Amino acid sequence: MNSNSTILIAEDDEGHATLIMKNLRRAGIRNQILLFRDGDEILRFLFRTSENKRESGSSYLLLLDIRMPKIDGVEVLRRIKSDPELKKMPVIILTTTDDPLEVELCHVCGCNNYITKPVEYEKFVQTVQNLGAFMGILQIPDINGIETVCVR
């Protein structure tokens, strides 16, 4: 996995975030991980409206929770996918329900994968690794101006 890549986690539940991070680390992923508490925080980071903002030249993978305070995950996904630059960023939805309507909605909005919590962490890590490896092989120095990668 490209060491330049940063894993973004948007998750309001501290416990969930801890579990995700533990499992990623346990699986040997050493990438930088950034944690955001709600939809608003992650959007401000991505759209560079806060002090903590994404950098050019880095590639990102977003693990997005659906139910968050202020702005929920679906809205965050919609805004990311309607931005010409950000829409190439791979997004994995992490959520507690497997409501088919919601799954469908997220796929329509353009998420790259949808994983239901409680997390089968082996499967989860596998997905992240696969996706990350896929992104790494493509040698994406920046998410700007590169064709969409779609892993379904």
Partner 1 sequence: MRRNIIRPLRMKSAIARKMIIWIILFSSLIILLSTAIQLHMDYRRDIFLIEDRIRQIKETHLESIIRSVWDTNIEVVKIQLEGILKLPDMQYMEIRNEDEHIISAGQPGTKHMRKYEFPLVYVQRKISYHLGTLYVTASLEGVYRRLIEKMIVILISQTIKTFLVSLFIFFLFYLLVGRHLRVMGEYAGKLNWENLDSPLILKRKGKKDDELDALTNAFNGMCLKLKSAFDKIQMMNRQLSESNENLRDEIREREKAEKALQEKEHFIRRVIDTAPGIVYIYDISENRSIYSNSGISRLLGYSQETVRELGKRLFPQILHPDDFQQLADHHHNLLNARDGDILDTEYRMKHADGDWRTLHSCDVPFLRDDKGAVLQIAGTAIDITARRQAEENIRHLNRELTEKNRELEQIVYVASHDLRSPLVNIQGFGKELQRTFDEMFAQISQTRDMQELREKTASFYQTDIHESLEYIFKSATKIDMLLSGLLRLSRLGRAAINIRQISMNIMVSDILKTFEYRIKEMGAKVDLGDLPDCFGDETMLNQVFSNLIDNALKFSHPDRNCIIRISGIAKKRETVYCVEDSGIGIAEEYHSRIFEIFSRLDTKMPGEGLGLSIIRKILEKHEGSIRVESAPGAGSRFYVSVPGRDKVSENGKKDEQQLHDSHSRR
Positions touching partner 1 (CB under 8 A) are 12-16, 18-19, 22, 37-38, 66-67, 69-70, 95-97, 99, 117-119, 121
Least distance between partner 1 and beta carbon 33 (Å)? 17
Euclidean distance between CA atoms 26 and 40, whole angstroms: 29
Nearer to partner 1, 14 or 85 (CB): 14
Question: DSSP secondary-structure letter at 119?
Answer: P
Give the nearest distance from C-beta 19 to partner 1 in angstroms.
Answer: 4
Report the residue number, 47 or 121, with the smaller CB distance to partner 1: 121
CA 36 to chain centre: 11
**Alpha carbon distance 125, 131 (integer Å):** 10
Q: Which is nearer to partner 1, 1 or 11 (CB)?
A: 11
Q: Report in angstroms how near the CB of residue 100 gets to partner 1 at its nearest.
A: 12
Question: What is the DSSP code (8-state) at residue 116?
Answer: E
CA distance 51 to 29: 26
